[in-house]
Amino acid sequence: MSSEGTGEFSGYVLHLLTSPVFLLGTIFQVWMLIDAVRRREWVWALFIAVFSVFAAFWYFFSVYRSSPLATRGFELPGAHDRRRIKELQAQIHHLDKPHHYSQLGDIYFQQGKLDKAESCYRASLERDPDDIDTRAHLGQCLLRLQRPDEARPLLESVITANPKHDYGHSLMAYAETLAAKGEVDQAITVWQRVTENHTYPRARVQLAELYLKTGKKDLAREQLQEVLTDAPHAPAFQRKRERPWVRRATKLMRQVK
């Protein structure tokens, strides 16, 4: 290749590397690659690394965009694998056991597919009406579906039987239900019960929000500071799960300074 041709080629490459489209594509690819690694989606990570931005867009629409918005920050205890869905559906078909419906409902809840989760929980309760876990999770599901009137009796029955159910998650859902119904003082009382035994940012941030709503700025600041002080020292998986609450705490802190 002549020096003139080499110069033209180099100019083209330089133009490509400095173009806004290329830079944005590279940033998007790196963003999706990091997300795939965090989710331990190793096959996707390999595709994104090898096949560039095209695989990144494929990943975005197939995996990233399907992340739950309705339930982000409201996870149920325990990890759920989306690949378990087919296995559970087969077990339901052959065995028709209530706990299989409930487990499938939990997966749909984690995915933000709340209508499907509700159907599974109700099918489970038809077969075992006394299962406390399913009643609690159905209550949480109904709450996320903006139906607190239906959620309340389910969650009340659970925390009456076991106030510590699901490591305090059922009690937190009950506090959220009271707040959704406008019963602020009762919700504050329940949130205080939660924070006496747990350091969940989900609890502290929502308690701080209610303190602000009732003019208790100093108490709100105390709860938010606890969240922001503890966040950097949490394990990586916990930081990821609690990220929405830490962001809310950071935003609220600007209002109480």
Tokens of 185: 């003082």
Confidence of residue 79 (pLDDT cuts 50, 70, 90): very low
What are the structural domains of the chain? 3-66 (no CATH), 69-163 (1.25.40.10)
Q: What is the pLDDT of residue 180?
A: 97
Q: What is the pLDDT of residue 49?
A: 82
- How many angstroms separate the Cα of 125 from the Cα of each of 138, 168, 216? 9, 22, 42
> Cβ neighbours of residue 197 under 8 Å, at least 6 residues apart?
164, 168
Tokens of 251: 């935003």
This prediction has a pTM of: 0.72
Residues of 220-246 as b/e, b for ≥16 C-beta within 10 angstroms? bbebbebbeeebeeeeeeeeebbeebb
pLDDT tens readout for residues 94-140: 999 999 999 999 999 988 889 999 999 999 999 999 999 999 999 99
Q: Which of 86, 84, 88, 106 is nearest to 96 (CA)?
A: 88
Tokens of 70: 């309705």
HSE-up of residue 234 (Cα within 13 Å, Cβ side): 18
